Amino acid sequence: MAGGVKQILVGAEAGSPLESLAAAMLGAGRGIVADRYCFSRGPLSRKIAGTPAVEATRIEKEETDAFDAASGHDYSGHDFRRNTVTGGVRLAELIGRDFRVGSATPRGIRYRKPCANLSATLGAEVMQHMLRKAGIRTQTVNDGGVRPSDGIED
C-alpha cells in the first residue's frame, strides 16, 4: 500500500488548538501518548475512556483538499481535528485490519463521522461533504513510534 503520514496532531485539552508533532509514541490500548484521549482529559474523553475506537483518528489529505475545493475554504489538517493526516492511502480499506506505521501497529476500527463540533467550526456543509470521508478511528495494538513521512503498510 503506497502512502503515509503527513501530519501528527494532538490536543492537550478539550477544545485546545492542535499541536503538530515531529514524532509521537503510540501506546497499546491508549493511542497517541501526548494526546488528551490517552489521558482521558475533558468530559468526552472521560466518558469514553477505555473505548478502543477513540484512541486516535486519521483523515486523508485528499478528502480535506476535496472539501476545501467544493466549499471554497482553505482549511488545514488542524481544522479537521484528527490526530493523523495521511496522503496516498485509502483509510476505509484499513477498517477491520491491522497495519504498520513507523514501528507501531494500529488497527482500523470504523469510520469517524463528522461531529456537531466540527460542523459548528467548519460550517454545516461539512456534514454533507465529509460523510464517510471524515476519517477513521483506530486502536493501537502494539506500542511504537511514528513520524510524519512514515509509510503505512498492511
What amino acid occupies position 143? D
Give the CATH number for residue 52. Answer: 2.40.33.20
Q: Is the pLDDT score of 2 beyond 80?
A: no
Q: Is the pLDDT score of 143 beyond 80?
A: yes
Element (H, E) at 47: helix 43-47
Using CA atoms, how far residue 72 sits from 59, 128, 131, 133, in Å, is: 19, 15, 18, 17
pLDDT tens digits, 20-73? 999 999 999 888 999 987 776 666 655 666 666 568 999 999 999 999 999 999
Provide φ and ψ at 148, rounded to 5°: -60, 140
Say what the pLDDT of residue 54 is. 65
Task: State the residue range of the domain holding 96.
Answer: 4-153
Say what the pLDDT of residue 52 is. 62
- Alpha carbon distance 95, 106 (integer Å): 10
pLDDT tens digits, 73-109? 999 989 999 999 999 999 999 999 999 999 999 999 9
Say what the pLDDT of residue 43 is. 60
Can you say how many angstroms the Cα of residue 113 is from the centroid of all Cα atoms in its chain? 11
Q: Evaluate the CA torsion angle 9, 72, 117, 51 in order and state its sign.
A: negative
**Overall number of domains in the chain:** 1
Q: Where are the alpha helices (DSSP H) in 61-139?
A: 61-71, 116-122, 125-129
Q: Under 8 Å CB-to-CB from 57, ≥6 apart: which residues?
A: 81, 82, 83, 84, 112, 135, 136, 137, 138
C-alpha triplet 21, 50, 116: angle, nearest 5°: 70
Say what the pLDDT of residue 46 is. 59
